[in-house]
Amino acid sequence: MEKIWLKHYPQGIAAEVDVHQFSSLKDVLRHSCERFGDLPAYTNMGASISFAELDQSSRDFAAYLQNILKLIKGDRVAIMMPNLLQYPVALFGVLRAGLVVVNVNPQYTAPELEHQIKDSGAVAIVVLENFAHTLQEVLDKNPTLKLSVITTEVGDMFSVVKELLTNVVVKYVKKMVPEWKIEDAIEFNAALRAGRAQALHFMPLGHADIAFLQYTGGTTGVAKGAVLTHGNMVANLQQLGEWLTHDLQEGKEVFVCPLPLYHVFALTASLVFMKIGSHTILITNPRDLHAFIHDLKKYPFTAIIGVNTLYRALLDAPEFAEVDTHHLKVTIAGGMAVQRVVAERWKQATGMPIIESYGLTETSPGVIANPLNSPDWTGAIGMPFPSTLASILDDDGTELPIGEIGEICVRGPQVMSGYWNRPDETAKVFTAEGWLRTGDMGFMDERGYFKITDRKKDMIIVSGFKVFPNQIEDVVALHPAVAEVAAIGVPDERSGEVVKIIVVKKDQSLSEQELLAHCRQHLTDYKVPRLIEFRDEPLPKSNLGKILRRELRNLAK
């Protein structure tokens, strides 16, 4: 296939990257720690660790896992916590020990956690004490489950005085730690101390070794683990680095990470910025806008990632007007479509465009993005990254012409090897020629830019006409009285389906008639919502902030 997008690559961006520069993520960490030792690596809640401290602490944790827990290469270790300083320490400790990271959403219910532990075969878990009661429920239900438990408290990586104060406030003042009891659990700091006295055994790692089991609902069925190897992750770091860091300075950037590191978007983005010696500001709870904006005011940040709903929440917060954004170089969005109104407001507020990107858990995750020199919102997800192929295929796997809508399919060194112990599910998402079917519908234009029309399963069919919820939502969101919107299809005797929108008002005076008039100005008749539901509470969202249309469809049945 012709890579027509290469003709439109920004100047200086290579068509291919050297995926063999590093043999593993362990080598990437060593490279950064050796070069940037005294510089701050991560900051959280006002406390920081340097690259040298990250190197030492992760070494100690790796030695604990190898020598005390007696874990061997390839064993799976779950990490269940929000963005805290302990996260990168545990993450790199697991990888340095030659083990596999299983990232776990700390908001999981007991059945969800049980499924992920059993499915992955995890033999150990690092869990924030706030969520230990959920783990206890799983262990109580499964008394034969062999799982080494390491618990941590919010302030464990802070200075002694701040650690004590923080942990007391979290546990006894704010009462954020439900009671729990797990026999033989060890504290995180105790594990570090025990590991410090042990030797770290060298563990050779190559591209074929597994780095992460990253769980996802994918395009079908129950949550399953995407097998992401060190080769997948290193390739994506090289690709993203080539795309994002040309105008960034090594050891000089300040990167704000408000998305959870257990999600692959934030995970890989943070690794890219770690690789160039950036100072990463970890935001534990971005929904606490006051605390989040306090950090934005405190640190002269140069890069930030987020999703559409997060950027909109910041823009809607009066305090955000007080944030100094003149240092900002890069604003990246992923996880869901960026609405025009949000992109335009962000550009007006900060002077910088939102660079929309696209990826999947199965692709480590980055495959496509808009160039950093894009002046404004394009409505497209951009062009394939270096060393990446993307195409529009029909249901039979045939490549479609430019401009024709089909399924976006991708190939590249960042694409997973398959789902953990699920050859049947793996077979469903790969074509015979090796293309990964993304489940997203879209088209490619004559410049090689890709545009998503919608998720395959979210498409609404009105009297045989295809309606894409993203387009409806983008139009509705343009109305200044709308805070949130989701579009779904509901059954209709005459047309098969009709469009329904669920709206959270920003201005309570907004009426159904006013909103319908607005839609008729921008949409063809069959795309105009036939049903409008106003809600007072926020719409259901994933841990990343993506509106869950599926839940809304289920409620509408």
Residue 255, domain CATH: 3.40.50.12780
Residue 220 lies in a domain: no
Give pLDDT tens digits for 455-480.
777 888 887 677 889 889 999 999 99
Report residue 112 as tokens: 């969800």
**With 80 as the cut, is the pLDDT of residue 259 above it?**
yes
Residue 182, domain CATH: 3.40.50.980
Do both 316 and 434 map to the same domain? yes
Residue 175 lies in a domain: yes
Give pLDDT tens digits for 480-501.
999 999 999 998 877 788 999 9
Do both 132 and 201 map to the same domain? yes
Among residues 365, 364, 413, the alpha carbon closest in space to that of 386 is found at 413
Do both 116 and 65 map to the same domain? yes
- Which amino acid is located at 271 in the chain? L
Strands laid side by side in the 224-229 sheet: 186-187, 148-152, 124-128, 76-80, 100-103, 210-216, 224-229
- Which amino acid is located at 369 in the chain? A
Q: Alpha-carbon distance 134 to 153, whole Å?
A: 15
Residue 221: its pLDDT value, please? 46
Helices (H), 37-97: 51-67, 86-96
The residue whose two tokens read 């959920």 is 134
CB-based contacts of 125, cutoff 8 Å, min separation 6: 77, 78, 79, 80, 104, 117, 135, 147, 148, 149, 150
Instruction: Tell me the longest C-alpha to C-alpha distance in the chain.
Output: 73
Give pLDDT tens digits for 311-368.
999 999 999 999 999 999 999 999 878 889 999 999 999 999 999 999 999 999 999 9
Give pLDDT tens digits for 437-448.
999 999 999 999
Beta bridge partners of 489: 499
Strands laid side by side in the 383-384 sheet: 47-50, 40-44, 279-282, 254-257, 303-306, 330-333, 355-359, 366-369, 383-384
Residue 366 lies in a domain: yes
86-115: buried (b, 16+ CB within 10 Å) or exposed (e) per residue?
bbbbbbbbbbbbbbbbbbbbbebebebbbb
The residue whose two tokens read 């195409």 is 391
Do both 116 and 137 map to the same domain? yes
Residue 462: its pLDDT value, please? 86
Q: Alpha-carbon distance 309 to 57, whole Å?
A: 35
**With 90 as the cut, is the pLDDT of residue 35 above it?**
yes
Residue 525 — very low, low, confident or very high, per pLDDT cuts 50/70/90? confident
Do both 406 and 516 map to the same domain? no
**With 90 as the cut, is the pLDDT of residue 557 above it?**
no
